[in-house]
């Protein structure tokens, strides 16, 4: 298991944000990761229908499977 340490400058930036701003950032990061995973899975599995791609994306995001 890898534990990533956040950069001191990033700590300062995030601490200056309100809770709502930090939540908005996290939500945007999640949405971007979801879009990338959807695209990647669709490209890697062209035989899957869109529902299968969505279901596998959801499974990986909810269970941390890579």
Is the pLDDT at 3 greater than 90, yes or no?
no
**17: DSSP letter:** S
With a pLDDT cut of 90, the percent of the chain lying above it is 85
- At residue 16's C-alpha, the angle toward residues 10 and 18, to 5°, is 120
Enumerate the domain spans of the chain: 8-63
What is the model's pLDDT at position 64? 66
Write out pLDDT tens, residues 26-50: 999 999 999 999 999 999 999 999 9
Is the pLDDT at 66 greater than 90, yes or no?
no
What is the model's pLDDT at position 65? 58
- At residue 7's C-alpha, the angle toward residues 6 and 9, to 5°, is 130
């Amino acid at each position: 298991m890898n534990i990533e340490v956040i950069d001191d400058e990033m700590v300062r930036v995030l601490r200056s944000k309100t809770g709502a701003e930090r939540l908005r950032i996290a939500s945007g990061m999640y949405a971007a990761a979801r879009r990338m995973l959807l695209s990647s899975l669709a490209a890697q599995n062209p035989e899957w229908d869109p529902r299968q791609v969505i279901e596998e994306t959801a499974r990986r995001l909810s269970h941390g499977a890579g």
